[in-house]
Amino acid sequence: MTDADITTTTADWQAWQRSWDRQQEWYLPDREERFRVMLDMVEAVVGTAPRVLDLACGTGTITARLLARFPDATSTGVDLDPALLAIAEGTFAGDERVTLVTADLKDPDWPARLPHDSYDAVLTATALHWLHREPLADLYGQVAGLVRAGGVFMNADHMIDESTPRINAAERAQRHARMEQARETGVIGWTEWWQLAAEDPVLAEPTARRYEIYGDHADGDMPSAQWHARVLREKGFGEARPVWCSPSDTLLLALK
């Protein structure tokens, strides 16, 4: 099935998941390797049957990979996006290992909506860059309160080191050139993907609500990995450092 065919089979949630993956991989060609390392570290720190909070879960990308690798794991996915949550709900319908929660991470009371007071692991990817530094630091404090002693938090995202402007420019130019080459083969990007969702009979209404909430896509801050590690330690984690990186992306691990 191609992206153009999705609207003919609105109940095929796996098709929507594959389409989301292709769109995300347009930006992040090392995306699956990043998830593999994330789950490696989950296993290394908290074992193969963890209770996981999938923070800003979107379509449930992390949860799907978590459960495929660790069938005895459980996951709570939390997000505010009605369209992406609709895909997640369709994907995991009937799976008792998965609970999905609608909450705004900028609301200081969002943890009260969760089914558990603590988690072995809190995981997030390509999501928190839309927060600015102050609310992100506040969120890290809340996350520290949710991770059990000995548990782990991991954030995989674009973290910019402003001390290396020439390296940053070279990486950005190479990444955009690769993306343009991929577009010539028919790969769709963020805007086109949301256009497809808006045209789908099932996703049109939640997509409209999504735009009422967020408007057009906008980024917050993208501070360096060093900033993230420092703030996480200040907020209650004992250790924090990158455990994987690509030229454009970093997976940062914090241990409670």
Classify 125 as helix, strand or coil.
Answer: strand
pLDDT digits (tens, 9 = 90+) for 220-241: 889 999 999 999 999 999 999 9
- 8 Å CB contact between 254 and 229: yes
């906008």: which residue's tokens?
218
Q: pLDDT confidence of 2, banded at 50, 70, 90?
A: very low
Q: What is the mean pLDDT of residues 22-47?
A: 95
Please classify residue 39 by burial: count the beta carbons closer than 10 Å to its beta carbon, then call 0-12 exposed, 13-18 middle and 19+ buried: buried
pLDDT digits (tens, 9 = 90+) for 134-182: 999 999 999 999 999 999 999 999 999 999 999 999 999 999 998 888 8
| CB neighbour list of residue 168: distance below 8 Å, 6 or more residues apart | 160, 161, 162
pLDDT digits (tens, 9 = 90+) for 183-195: 888 888 899 999 9
- Alpha-helix residue ranges (DSSP H) falling in 47-155: 61-69, 82-92, 133-146
DSSP 112: G
pLDDT digits (tens, 9 = 90+) for 70-108: 999 999 999 999 999 999 999 999 999 999 999 999 999
Write the DSSP string, 152-208: EEEEEE----TT-HHHHHHHHHHHHHHHHHHHHTT---HHHHHHHHHHSTTTHHHHH
pTM of the model: 0.93
| CB neighbour list of residue 15: distance below 8 Å, 6 or more residues apart | 1, 5, 6, 9
Output the furthest CA–CA distance in the chain (Å, rounded). Answer: 50
